[in-house]
Amino acid sequence: MAEGNMAGMTSPSGPGKGPFTALGRLVVLVTDPEAALAFYRDVLGFRVLYDRTEGGYRYLHLGVPGQEGVGLWLMPATGEEERRLVGRQTGGQPLLVLYTDDLDAVSRRLREHGTRTWAEREDADSRSLHFEDLYGNVIVAVQLLASTPPPA
């Protein structure tokens, strides 16, 4: 989506027919919840939506300001199979696409924190760049240009 022309995106013609009303959390497997929290909060600016430890298990949900109901669940990998999937749970495809009003500021912030960026692109509708979280999950940052309506 970030690499292609956004003008070709379609909007739904009406309300969905399914039983769901909202997207809640996307699970991101991590090996160190504190390190993951520091990256997503301190580097990317996510907010802690919920942080509770119960029965030795930590429930740590983060979100982007302005979208309080949608977020990431930083889930500690348990067992060998889950640990092997950390940083690879999407098979090399982007884990997230994050929208911004200032891609240059995002790029500077990432570089200031030692985060490598690549694949900086600009087309008629958007500008984007790729980067990785501390586990190697690919994230795409996109700035829609003024003439582009936000995705539906």
Residue 152 — pLDDT band, cuts 50, 70, 90?
low
Q: Is 98 within 8 Å of 113 (Cβ atoms)?
A: no
Q: Is 70 within 8 Å of 59 (Cβ atoms)?
A: no
> How many domains does one find in the chain?
2
Residue 146 and residue 91 share a domain: yes
CATH of the domain at 94: 3.10.180.10
Which residue, of 86, 104, 128, is where some domain finishes? 86
pTM of the model: 0.83
Mean pLDDT for all residues in the chain: 88
Looking at the domain assignment, is residue 11 inside a domain?
no
Looking at the domain assignment, is residue 151 inside a domain?
yes
Parent domain of 60: 22-86
Cβ-proximal residues to 102 (8 Å cutoff; 6+ apart), any chain: 143
Which residue, of 45, 61, 86, is where some domain finishes? 86
pLDDT digits (tens, 9 = 90+) for 87-124: 999 999 999 999 999 999 999 999 999 999 999 999 99
pLDDT digits (tens, 9 = 90+) for 11-42: 455 566 789 888 899 999 999 999 999 999 99
